Homo-oligomer: A and B are copies of this chain.
């Protein structure tokens, strides 16, 4: 039954436009860009029987070694039940280890192993290559602009999470957390 059912609305044959000031160009570009951005690591992960969730955990454990389970949940914005399976697999395959928190022994500090560090780098490499290629004709100014745009796209309340990462990235110490 290819045609409309009795009470169905009439088809609109004109494409949606920038009416109402909707920025469809960037909305769509963002979708395509992110889809392809994640497709590179996805292929590598498949060889390990891992998925995107493993990648995210591995990434943040490498970026902030020693973060606790609660901190990781807060960064990923998922529930502990969602994290459980993924984290267990990463621990069982010796990509991540847990150490008892020194100050609070209830806490589990998460660290990458050499194996986990290597995999994180292998996953990041094609993504970094893609970014590098996208900015190849750009200078520092353009790069900063893209960074500023992406940061401005993040919910203001959550920008602190990123700043921590950036601080670590640029080699600053950060007291305690």
Q: Does A4 contact B (CB under 8 A)?
A: yes
A131–B66 Cα distance when bound, in Å, is 34
Residue A73 at the chain B interface, CB threshold 8 Å = no
Judge if A168 is at the interface, Cβ distance under 8 Å.
yes
Please, what's the 1-or-0 string for A132-147, where 1 marks a CB less than 8 Å from any CB in chain B?
1111001000100111
Q: Is A48 an interface residue (CB 8 A)?
A: no
Contacts from A to B (Cβ < 8 Å):
2-4, 7-18, 20-37, 39, 56, 59, 62-66, 77, 94, 97-100, 105, 108, 111-117, 120-121, 124-125, 127-128, 130-135, 138, 142, 145-147, 149-155, 158, 161-162, 165-166, 168-169, 171
